């Protein structure tokens, strides 16, 4: 029979799949000798069983009973013993941290009887009754599903009756009365009494934690963070320790380094005489952790020592939760902490310099997504800006938007296309939808460890918190800044999550330092972050096997791509050169009634094309440039059918001859499904002269540069090929043109001719096609749409989000390659193409070329390069390096 329960002494940090992050790390801390209250973990297997079958697995009850007995023995007390009760907490803890999204119940084991025992043993009657009312409140809400407002209202009522502001001012007698009121709330709303049997309490709490895996906000959070829906949560049952026994007790959270910048130091918040989630909830004002040194020097020193031990042990930034019970320090949680993108790069390099990790590990500690965040623009405050507050820089970025004051408004406004900033006094897990919808989050309370800060940082969302200079009036939908500035719903503000400054109105943005570094305008040693990026990129480039090319269609874009580290252009979309004023020339080509007219139109286009190619080849001198012949259907260059019909109809007899001809052509070329019509190689083969013109322009541009002593390396790429015959005919024609240009110019440039693989049939017959194609480039945009049978232009808005909700995809297959389906075609084509033509050069130029997860896939399949937009080039370089390092590591293991 499988084992469902692990004592803390039995687990370790590598068992996160089974024990969840919290359980695995509690076990790890226990085993390295840190002061962790005894406890045990119920596995995620048990949770998954429960969620599938609606009941706990057989044997779980007995295992829990046995571990509870051990726990009771270790503590020398029995759960809920009327004379001297052992109390436990029942805490959720999944593999990936989901801050505040699932449930926890504290103080299990208290009852009408044992509360008296607790009062006696602790010598603190008020404490005992406070613990009991918290239990009923949490249990009522979490386990029995009663609306938390009922308890809040009763608590507020008690405070009002007493004329006090804080619950700490309520006496034992007040709390006793509150317990009775809470029990009545339970009886009324749950139609049952609050359970007095401690084991009953525990079992119900365990099931409630299992069920909280599927709470709405947990589901939403997982979707946002791309956490798989089927992992389930573990449950930790831990002996209670109390931070609310008086001023010699308290609870806090801390980071071993600043999660915003990576700087080493003491970062955290402490709350005296408090229990559980009071700190993270940002409800009462905390003090900086440094103050603990003054309040309780011994505990402070011990905590600092433990934080050093943890950093050296995990070799990373850790965050922790701790409680001090009457001067005794207890560790309640640790994990490798979430951090901002900038801190991730800085910390990785700091750890290398401290000798804790090597450069390969440093490369693995950061990600392309984080690098992308460092490339976002920042505010340019050199002009006239109105600063209205400065607060805590909780999660970096530059966000501009209209102010809204609640989550629902944020969602509604964002749905109609507005950019919004969510402004709250503090956030709680129910604000998650609004946080996701907003550009940024601003709160007037709470520190770096408040809910808003932790969640925003996890999502990479800009956040400024603890702006206590601002008076936020959520009911009145406005906030007031110092000097009487009133900002109402709909007014625009700008928030800088890097400096913590809030501005009125829209502040302009400029390129980030990291982008300036990639552009070559900022030296790497100018700033710590840029230096860290430089060192990590250097190592990634050394390690990677994949080349990184760019998709670019003009000189400046190519030049930028080259500065960003591209060593080639993987896709020039030549149709992009037929837009703007040149559209008329294409129109003339389409309307041509005679061969002469058609040739005249092509002759007019050719020098323009040649000029484009020269510019591109020059910018990429010495590197391959894969130029794709025209792809889209011709009607894309003509006016819209409806517009033109209306125009001609309205003009009646006055319609120009040109418009009539145009309308006739538009009707003739109209396609029901242009994606699958006359486009790509079909167009190239059927419109006489088009291929010749483009190939001649490429060859002539190259010859010109070669003559000038440059090193142009164009490649000709045929789009949308489905069969080798298409390839053979286009190749034959292209070769003829190349020979003619060579004869005219006397320059014999090697110009390979290859094809896109973007039709399933091409992938399946790649062995044949490779006889005629000298290289392949996967067009995974078309390959995805044709493999799935859905149009890339129509479906993302139409049904992707319900499909993601239904779990049909984890992520859009247009974003991350569908490895099992589309990826299988990529594999087949690669293997069979290379079987025909050993060493066949193969790349990918669909959007997936710049997507981190897809880059790993293409590395594994053995492609030669990925090609993506210039701004994604550094991201692809980094991910290609990471993929190579990890696969080298797994080869030797």
Q: Which stretch binds Mg ion (CB under 5 A): 212-220, 584-592, 642-650, 751-759?
A: 751-759
The catalytic position among 318, 465, 558, 845 is 845
| Interface map 700-739 toward Mg ion (x if CB under 5 A) | ----------------------------------------
Helix (H) or strand (E) segment spanning residue 815? none
Task: Extract the tokens encoding 769.
Answer: 């096609």
451 in active site: yes
- Give the single-character DSSP code of 33: T
From ligand PEP, Mg ion, none, interface partner of 303 (C-beta below 5 to 8 A by class): none
Q: Does 632 bind Mg ion (CB under 5 A)?
A: no
CA dist 41 and 27 (Å) reads 9
Return the closest-CA partner of residue 335 out of 454, 244, 223, 427. 454
Structural contact between residues 755 and 727, judged by C-beta atoms closer than 8 angstroms: yes
**Shortest Å distance, C-beta 632 to ligand PEP:** 8
CA dist 27 and 155 (Å) reads 37
Angle, CA of 22, 25 and 28, to the nearest 5° = 155
Residue selected from 631, 749, 832, 851 as contacting ligand PEP according to rule CB under 6 A: 631
CB-facing half-sphere around the CA of 677: CA atoms within 13 A: 14
Task: Extract the tokens encoding 256.
Answer: 């071993």
| Contacts to ligand PEP from residues 814-873, by CB under 6 A | 845-846
CA dist 741 and 734 (Å) reads 11
The smaller minimum CB distance to ligand PEP, of residues 198 and 632, is found at 632
The smaller minimum CB distance to Mg ion, of residues 109 and 813, is found at 813
The three-state secondary structure class of 716 is strand
Return the closest-CA partner of residue 259 out of 394, 377, 93. 394
Q: Which stretch binds Mg ion (CB under 5 A): 90-98, 295-303, 757-765, 809-817?
A: 757-765
Residue selected from 71, 136, 546, 571 as contacting ligand PEP according to rule CB under 6 A: 571
From ligand PEP, Mg ion, none, interface partner of 426 (C-beta below 5 to 8 A by class): none
868 in active site: no
Q: Which stretch binds Mg ion (CB under 5 A): 651-659, 750-758, 806-814, 850-858?
A: 750-758
Place of tokens 């995974």: 780
Residue selected from 296, 758, 818, 851 as contacting ligand PEP according to rule CB under 6 A: 758
Angle, CA of 61, 50 and 430, to the nearest 5° = 115
**Shortest Å distance, C-beta 631 to ligand PEP:** 6
Return the closest-CA partner of residue 635 out of 675, 602, 595. 675
Q: Does 782 bind Mg ion (CB under 5 A)?
A: yes
Q: Does 573 bind ligand PEP (CB under 6 A)?
A: yes
CA dist 444 and 405 (Å) reads 12
From Mg ion, ligand PEP, none, interface partner of 573 (C-beta below 5 to 8 A by class): ligand PEP
**Shortest Å distance, C-beta 631 to Mg ion:** 6
Angle, CA of 524, 525 and 526, to the nearest 5° = 95
Structural contact between residues 748 and 814, judged by C-beta atoms closer than 8 angstroms: no
Q: What is the size of the binding site for Mg ion (CB under 5 A)?
A: 3
CA distances to 36, 344, 408 from 241, in Å: 10, 33, 38
The smaller minimum CB distance to ligand PEP, of residues 175 and 822, is found at 822
**Shortest Å distance, C-beta 783 to ligand PEP:** 6
CA distances to 237, 329, 717 from 72, in Å: 12, 21, 73
Place of tokens 């697995």: 57
The smaller minimum CB distance to ligand PEP, of residues 623 and 814, is found at 814
Place of tokens 């009852």: 111
From ligand PEP, Mg ion, none, interface partner of 167 (C-beta below 5 to 8 A by class): none
From ligand PEP, Mg ion, none, interface partner of 846 (C-beta below 5 to 8 A by class): ligand PEP
- Give the single-character DSSP code of 431: G
Place of tokens 């990529």: 826
| Interface map 775-804 toward ligand PEP (x if CB under 6 A) | ----xxxx----------------------
From Mg ion, ligand PEP, none, interface partner of 745 (C-beta below 5 to 8 A by class): none
Q: Does 761 bind ligand PEP (CB under 6 A)?
A: no
The smaller minimum CB distance to ligand PEP, of residues 207 and 573, is found at 573
The catalytic position among 150, 451, 534, 549 is 451
Task: Extract the tokens encoding 312.
Answer: 């050296």
From Mg ion, ligand PEP, none, interface partner of 105 (C-beta below 5 to 8 A by class): none
Catalytic residues, by residue number, are: 451, 845
Residues that bind ligand PEP (CB under 6 A): 571, 573, 631, 758, 779-782, 845-846
């Amino acid at each position: 029979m499988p084992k469902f329960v692990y004592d803390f002494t039995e687990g370790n940090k590598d068992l996160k799949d089974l024990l969840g992050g919290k359980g695995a790390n509690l076990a790890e801390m226990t085993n390295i000798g840190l002061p962790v209250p005894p406890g045990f973990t119920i596995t995620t297997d048990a949770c998954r069983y429960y969620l599938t079958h609606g009941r706990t697995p057989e044997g779980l009850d007995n295992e829990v009973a046995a571990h509870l007995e051990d726990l009771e023995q270790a503590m020398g007390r029995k759960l809920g013993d009327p004379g001297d009760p052992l109390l436990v907490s029942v805490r959720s803890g999944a593999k990936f941290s989901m801050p505040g999204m699932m449930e926890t119940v504290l103080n299990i084991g208290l009852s009408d009887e044992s509360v008296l025992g607790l009062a006696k043993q602790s010598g603190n009657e008020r404490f005992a009754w406070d613990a009991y009312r918290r239990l009923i409140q949490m249990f009522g809400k979490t386990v029995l599903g009663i609306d938390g407002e009922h308890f809040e209202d009763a608590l507020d009522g008690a405070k009002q009756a007493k004329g006090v502001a804080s619950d700490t001012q309520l006496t034992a007698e007040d709390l006793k009365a509150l317990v009775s009121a809470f029990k009545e709330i339970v009886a009324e709303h749950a139609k049952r009494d609050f359970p007095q049997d401690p084991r009953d309490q525990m079992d119900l709490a365990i099931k409630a934690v299992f069920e909280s895996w599927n709470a709405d906000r947990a589901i939403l959070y997982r979707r946002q963070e791309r956490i798989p829906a089927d992992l389930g949560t573990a449950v930790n049952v831990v002996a209670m320790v109390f931070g609310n026994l008086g001023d010699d007790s308290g609870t806090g959270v801390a980071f071993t380094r600043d999660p915003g910048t990576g700087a080493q130091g003491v970062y955290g918040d402490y709350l005296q005489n408090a229990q559980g989630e009071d700190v993270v909830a940002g409800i009462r004002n905390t003090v900086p952790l440094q103050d603990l040194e003054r309040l309780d020097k011994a505990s402070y020193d011990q905590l600092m020592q433990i934080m050093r031990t943890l950093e050296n042990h995990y070799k990373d930034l850790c965050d922790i939760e701790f409680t001090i019970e009457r001067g005794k320090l207890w560790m309640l949680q640790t994990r490798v902490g979430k951090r901002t993108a900038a801190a991730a790069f800085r910390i990785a390099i700091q750890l290398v310099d401290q000798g804790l990790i090597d450069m390969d590990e440093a490369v693995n500690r950061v990600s392309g997504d984080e690098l992308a965040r460092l490339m976002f623009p920042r505010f340019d405050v050199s002009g006239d800006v109105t600063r209205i507050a400065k607060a805590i820089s909780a999660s970096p970025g530059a966000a501009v938007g209209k102010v809204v004051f609640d989550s629902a408004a944020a969602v509604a406004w964002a749905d109609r296309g507005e950019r919004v900033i969510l402004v709250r006094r503090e956030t709680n897990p129910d604000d998650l939808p609004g946080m996701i919808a907003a550009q940024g989050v601003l709160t007037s309370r709470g520190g770096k460890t408040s809910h808003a800060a932790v969640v925003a940082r996890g999502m990479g969302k800009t956040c400024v918190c603890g702006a206590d200079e601002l008076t936020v009036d959520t009911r009145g939908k406005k906030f007031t800044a110092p000097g009487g500035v009133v900002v109402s719903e709909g007014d625009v503000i700008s928030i800088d999550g890097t400096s913590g400054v809030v501005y009125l109105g829209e502040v302009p943005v400029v390129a980030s330092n990291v982008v300036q570094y990639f552009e070559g305008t900022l030296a790497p040693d100018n700033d710590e972050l840029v230096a860290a990026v430089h060192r990590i990129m250097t190592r990634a480039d050394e390690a990677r096997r994949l080349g990184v090319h760019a998709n670019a269609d003009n000189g400046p874009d190519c030049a930028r791509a080259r500065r960003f580290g591209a060593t080639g252009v993987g896709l020039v979309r030549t149709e992009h050169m037929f837009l703007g004023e040149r559209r008329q020339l294409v129109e003339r080509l389409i309307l041509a009634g005679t061969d002469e007219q058609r040739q005249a139109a092509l002759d007019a286009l050719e020098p323009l094309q040649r000029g484009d190619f020269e510019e591109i080849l020059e910018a990429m001198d010495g590197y391959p440039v894969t130029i794709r012949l025209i792809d889209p259907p011709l009607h894309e260059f003509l006016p819209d059918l409806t517009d033109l019909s209306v125009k001609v109809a309205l003009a009646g007899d006055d319609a120009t001859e040109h418009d009539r001809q145009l309308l006739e052509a538009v009707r003739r070329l109209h396609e029901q499904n242009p994606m699958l019509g006359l486009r790509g190689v079909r167009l190239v083969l059927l419109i006489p002269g088009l291929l010749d013109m483009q190939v001649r322009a490429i060859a002539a541009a190259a010859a010109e540069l070669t003559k000038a002593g440059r090193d142009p390396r164009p490649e000709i790429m045929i789009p949308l090929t489905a069969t080798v015959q298409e390839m053979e005919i286009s190749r034959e024609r292209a070769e003829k043109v190349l020979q003619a240009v060579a004869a005219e110019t006397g320059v014999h440039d090697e110009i390979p001719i290859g094809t896109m693989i973007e039709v399933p049939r091409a992938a399946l017959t790649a062995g044949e096609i490779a006889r005629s194609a000298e290289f392949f480039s996967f067009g995974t945009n078309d390959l995805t749409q044709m493999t799935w049978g859905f149009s890339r232009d129509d479906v993302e808005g139409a049904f992707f989000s319900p499909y993601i909700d239904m779990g049909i995809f984890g992520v859009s297959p247009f974003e991350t390659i569908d490895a099992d389906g589309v990826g299988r075609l990529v594999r087949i084509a690669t293997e069979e193409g290379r079987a025909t033509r050993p060493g066949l050069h193969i790349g990918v130029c669909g959007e997936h070329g710049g997507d981190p997860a897809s880059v790993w896939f293409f590395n594994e399949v053995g492609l030669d390069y990925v090609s993506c937009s210039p701004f994604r080039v550094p991201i692809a370089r980094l991910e290609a390096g990471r993929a190579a390092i990890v696969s080298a590591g797994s080869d030797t293991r």
